[in-house]
Structure 1
Amino acid sequence: MTSPSETARSRRVPLPSAPNMRDLGGLPVSGGVVRTGVVFRSASLADLADEDQRALADLGIATVYDMRTAQEQAKKPDELPVSALLVPLDVLADDQGDASIGAAIMSGHTREVADLLEEGGAAAIIGKSYRKFIRLRSAHTAYEAFFRGLANPSRRGAALFHCATGKDRTGWAAVCLLRILGAEDDVILDDYLQTNADLMPTIQPVLDKAEADGVDPELVLPILTVHERNLAVADDEVKRVFGSFDAYLSEGLGLKDSTLEALRERFVE
Structure 2
Amino acid sequence: MAGVNLNIQSVPNLRDLGGYDTTDGKKIKEGLVYRSNQLNPISREDISKLQALHLKTIYDLRTAEERAQFPDQISGDSKEIWLNVLADNSSAGVATLAKTLQNTNEVNTIMGNGKAVELFKQVYTDLVELPSAKKAYHDFFLSLANDKNLPALFHCTAGKDRTGWAAASLLALLGTPKDQIYSNYLDSNTYLIPAYQKQIDSFVAAGVKKDIILDVIGVRKEYLDASFNTVEKNYGSIENYFEQGLHIDKTTQEKIKKNLLST
TM-score normalised per structure 2: 0.93
Match of 2:216 in 1: 223
Work out the CA distance in 2 between the residues paired with 1:88 and 1:49. 23
Work out the CA distance in 1 between the residues paired with 2:8 and 2:106. 32
* Correspondence 1:180-195 to 2 at 5 A: 180-195=173-188
Work out the CA distance in 1 between the residues paired with 2:190 and 2:238. 28
1:70 is the counterpart of 2:70: no
Identity of aligned residues (%): 35
1:264 is the counterpart of 2:257: yes
Instruction: Report the CA distance shift for 1:88/1:226 in structure 2 as closer, same or farther (over 3 A).
Output: same
- Letter paired with 1:149: S
User: 1:94 is paired with a residue of what secondary structure?
Assistant: helix
Work out the CA distance in 2 between the residues paired with 1:26 and 1:239. 26
Match of 1:103 in 2: 98
* Correspondence 1:78-157 to 2 at 5 A: 78-96=72-90, 97-104=92-99, 109-155=103-149, 157=150
Q: Summarize deviations over 1:17-44 as a string: whole Å, max 9, x none.
A: 1121111121112332111111111101
Deviation of 1:238 (Å) = 1.7
Match of 1:3 in 2: none
Q: Tell me, yes or no, if the aligned pair for 1:42 and 1:160 is still in contact at 8 Å.
A: yes
Q: Tell me, yes or no, if the aligned pair for 1:94 and 1:137 is still in contact at 8 Å.
A: yes
Work out the CA distance in 1 between the residues paired with 2:200 and 2:57. 33
Instruction: Report the CA distance shift for 1:210/1:228 in structure 2 as closer, same or farther (over 3 A).
Output: same
Q: Summarize deviations over 1:169-218 as a string: whole Å, max 9, x none.
A: 00100011111111110111111111110112222122101111111111
In the alignment, which of 189, 205, 212 is matched to residue 212 of structure 1? 205
Q: Tell me, yes or no, if the aligned pair for 1:54 and 1:81 is still in contact at 8 Å.
A: no
Query: After the TM superposition, which of the residue ranges 21-30 and 135-144 deviates more from structure 2?
Result: 21-30
- Letter paired with 1:93: A
Query: After the TM superposition, which of the residue ranges 180-189 and 113-122 deviates more from structure 2?
Result: 113-122
User: 1:40 is paired with a residue of what secondary structure?
Assistant: strand
Alpha carbon RMSD of aligned pairs, Å?
1.7
Query: After the TM superposition, which of the residue ranges 108-117 and 184-193 deviates more from structure 2?
Result: 108-117
1:37 is the counterpart of 2:41: no
Work out the CA distance in 1 between the residues paired with 2:231 and 2:261. 25
In the alignment, which of 162, 166, 170 is matched to residue 155 of structure 2? 162
User: 2:34 is paired with a residue of what secondary structure?
Assistant: strand
Gaps of 5+ in 1: 1-5
Instruction: Report the CA distance shift for 1:265/1:100 in structure 2 as closer, same or farther (over 3 A).
Output: closer
- Letter paired with 1:104: K
Q: Tell me, yes or no, if the aligned pair for 1:108 and 1:210 is still in contact at 8 Å.
A: no
Work out the CA distance in 1 between the residues paired with 2:39 and 2:245. 29
Q: Summarize deviations over 1:99-120 as a string: whole Å, max 9, x none.
A: 2442236x75544433211110
- Letter paired with 2:7: P
In the alignment, which of 204, 227, 230 is matched to residue 234 of structure 1? 227
Match of 1:49 in 2: 43
Count of residue correspondences: 260
Query: After the TM superposition, which of the residue ranges 86-95 and 211-220 deviates more from structure 2?
Result: 211-220
Work out the CA distance in 2 between the residues paired with 1:48 and 1:12. 16
- Letter paired with 2:58: V
Q: Tell me, yes or no, if the aligned pair for 1:18 and 1:45 is still in contact at 8 Å.
A: yes
- Letter paired with 2:49: A
